[in-house]
Amino acid sequence: MRLRRALALLLLAACAAGCSSVRPWINAPLPEAPAPVATAAQLAARDPSALFAVTLSGGGARAAAFGYGVLQELRATPCCWNDKGGNMLDAVDVVSGVSGGSIIATYYAAFGSEGLDNFEHEYLRQNFQGSLLNQLLRPANLVDLTSPWFGRSQLLARRLDTLYRGMTFGDIERRPRHPQLLVTATDMSLGTGFEFTPEQFELICSDLSSVPLSFAVTASSAVPLLLSPLTLKNYAEDCRSRGIVPRALAPRREDDYRARMLRTQEGSYLDARTRPYIHLVDGGLSDNLGVRRLLDRALAGGSLRASFSEVGIPAGSVHHLVLITVNSERDPSTRIDASDKVPGIAEVVDALLFGAGARATTETQEFLADLARQWQSELSRRSADGKDVFAPGATIHVIQVNLRDAQGDQRRSLLQVPTAFSIADAEVSGLIAAGRSVLRSSPEFQKLLRSLGAPAPAAAVSDPR
């Protein structure tokens, strides 16, 4: 009956095809020359002695629930240095999210640790996916979908706009002591990450502060074919005519291919005649962890010290640099190697996404671990110019929190939770508990606590639901 009703409504929409000219939200140009690039420490008046960044991977509601558990555990962990009193979550300076991870990352950036608990009720335990299907079946929305400028992703953006109370990036900037938010989508033409940051938007001469949070999260979650790409207008030609020159281009280096590629990619946005529009899809296609662009930009600077040289942090301030990466990838649904039968289409797609596709994530994690060791070695050699932002004996901590490191009887079932906008309540509870326990038991996390002189957090109380 439901299927017949849907078909009837689709037929009605088809009859109205060509009638809709609705246009969704589009980004605005920069109103004036961009303000000087500031840092998280400057913008939020934060203490730079310990810099924290948390990245949350893609994976739909599975990633949102696992990441939520990690954030809850950070909030349960006391911290005790300088003026960062309270808990470790409040000490986070940068939070980054991709796809499903961007849903929880953006919620935390928008409402802070004090509003974090509401996420469980407002998203994780809602039939979010069912509400999207209901939106699709509404006659007015079906008519909107006949517009050549309006796609399925706009319906997701409308639903997410309710979750984020209509907030924009500018609203986050006005929150006291807010963490900096990075949401990553994929530039469809380049196949590379597109970050919703002031620096990235400066390249297209656009105003990030007016961008709805729902637009960024939708772009980061727009799985190709299932959802439509989202579009930004490139105003770089307008900036050129006003004499505004972007300052965000990577340094010109000939000795590192990553720096060359990054500069070429960034330079492509300056040619608005060739690329007047930018089409964005799921960020997991370019980097499911959301850290590769950060690493590329740091490497383009030549060294860790060089990448921090212009951020305005006083010399000798940074004692701890902490990066927590949360990886919510699941296992393939079937082990195709256990059978001599030709894998079917569903099995091939599943293996490519969660088998072969996981290799890129593993390579990024190993690359990050190697790079952290190189950076720690670099910091052991003191800078001679007196401008080093790192204090003597500064330490780097890379804490990798993987769903695959979950323990207990539920581990196998958690690694089979589907990638969807809604999952079962029992799966939500299991993933939240797993996020907390995997972080708490991480040897690198324990090492960080000892380095900070912070007490180990008490064991989390299990969720009875």
- Residues 329-388 pLDDT 10s: 987 767 777 777 788 777 776 666 655 667 788 888 898 899 889 889 888 887 766 678
Q: Which long-range contacts (CB under 8 A, 24 or more apart) does 305-308 make?
A: 305/378, 305/379, 305/383, 305/388, 305/389, 305/390, 308/389, 308/390
Give the SS3 label for residue 463: coil
Query: Bridge partners of 96?
Result: 55, 182
Contact present, 20 and 144 (Cβ < 8 Å): yes
Give the whole-number percent of the chain exceeding pLDDT 70.
83
Mean pLDDT value across residues 151-178: 94
Return the minimum-mean-pLDDT range out of 123-132, 191-200, 372-381, 398-407.
372-381
Residue 308 to residue 298: CA distance in whole angstroms: 9
**Two tokens at 155?**
């319906």
Cβ-based burial of 53 (10 A; exposed 0-12, middle 13-18, buried ≥19):
buried
Residue 463: per-residue pLDDT: 46
pLDDT bin (cut points 50, 70, 90) of residue 5 is low
Residue 200: per-residue pLDDT: 92
pLDDT bin (cut points 50, 70, 90) of residue 425 is very high
Residue 297 to residue 301: CA distance in whole angstroms: 7
**Is pLDDT above 60 for 38?**
no
pLDDT bin (cut points 50, 70, 90) of residue 221 is very high
Token pair 């808990």: residue: 87
Residue 182: per-residue pLDDT: 95
Backbone phi, then psi, for 224, in 5-degree steps?
-55, 145
Give the SS3 label for residue 403: helix
Residue 457: per-residue pLDDT: 61
Which range, 93-97, 289-293, 305-309, 352-356, has the best average confidence (pLDDT)?
93-97
Residue 231: per-residue pLDDT: 97
pLDDT bin (cut points 50, 70, 90) of residue 16 is very low
The residue ranking higher by pLDDT, 327 or 300, is 327
Residue 309 to residue 300: CA distance in whole angstroms: 13
Residue 459: per-residue pLDDT: 56
Q: Which long-range contacts (CB under 8 A, 24 or more apart) does 122-125 make?
A: 122/163, 123/61, 123/64, 123/163, 124/61, 124/64, 124/65, 124/68, 124/428, 124/432, 125/425, 125/428
Residue 350: per-residue pLDDT: 64
Mean pLDDT value across residues 315-336: 86
How many residues are given for the chain?
Answer: 465
Helix axis angle for 292-300 and 257-268, nearest 10°, is 110
Give the SS3 label for residue 26: coil
Return the minimum-mean-pLDDT range out of 145-154, 217-226, 285-294, 331-340.
331-340
Contact present, 30 and 205 (Cβ < 8 Å): yes
Residue 444: per-residue pLDDT: 94
| pLDDT tens string 39-86 | 444 444 567 888 999 999 999 999 999 999 999 999 999 885 555 558
**Two tokens at 465?**
């639901």
Contact present, 76 and 116 (Cβ < 8 Å): no
**Closest to 61 in 3D by CA, of 109, 102, 116, 112:** 102
Cα 6 → chain centroid = 34
First CA to last CA distance, the chain = 33
| pLDDT tens string 223-259 | 998 899 999 999 999 888 887 777 666 556 666 777 7
The residue ranking higher by pLDDT, 417 or 42, is 417
**Is pLDDT above 90 for 295?**
no
Read out DSSP for 296-334?
A: HHHHHTSSHHHHTTTS-PPTT-EEEEEEEEEE-----SS
**Is pLDDT above 60 for 190?**
yes
Average pLDDT, the chain: 84
**Is pLDDT above 50 for 201?**
yes
The residue ranking higher by pLDDT, 437 or 338, is 437
CA angle 41, 392, 75 (to 5 degrees): 45
| pLDDT tens string 119-140 | 999 999 999 999 888 888 888 8
Residue 187: per-residue pLDDT: 97
Token pair 């330079």: residue: 267
Contact present, 359 and 276 (Cβ < 8 Å): no
Mean pLDDT value across residues 288-303: 79
Residue 250: per-residue pLDDT: 55
Residue 8: per-residue pLDDT: 52
**Closest to 261 in 3D by CA, of 200, 199, 192, 310:** 192
Burial annotation 204-240 (CB, 10 A radius, 16+ → b, else e):
bbbbbbebbbbbbbbbbbbeeeebbbbbbbbbbebbe
Contact present, 325 and 442 (Cβ < 8 Å): no
Give the whole-number percent of the chain exceeding pLDDT 90.
49
Helix axis angle for 425-441 and 443-452, nearest 10°, is 60
Q: Which amino acid is at 169?
A: F
Q: Which amino acid is at 352?
A: L
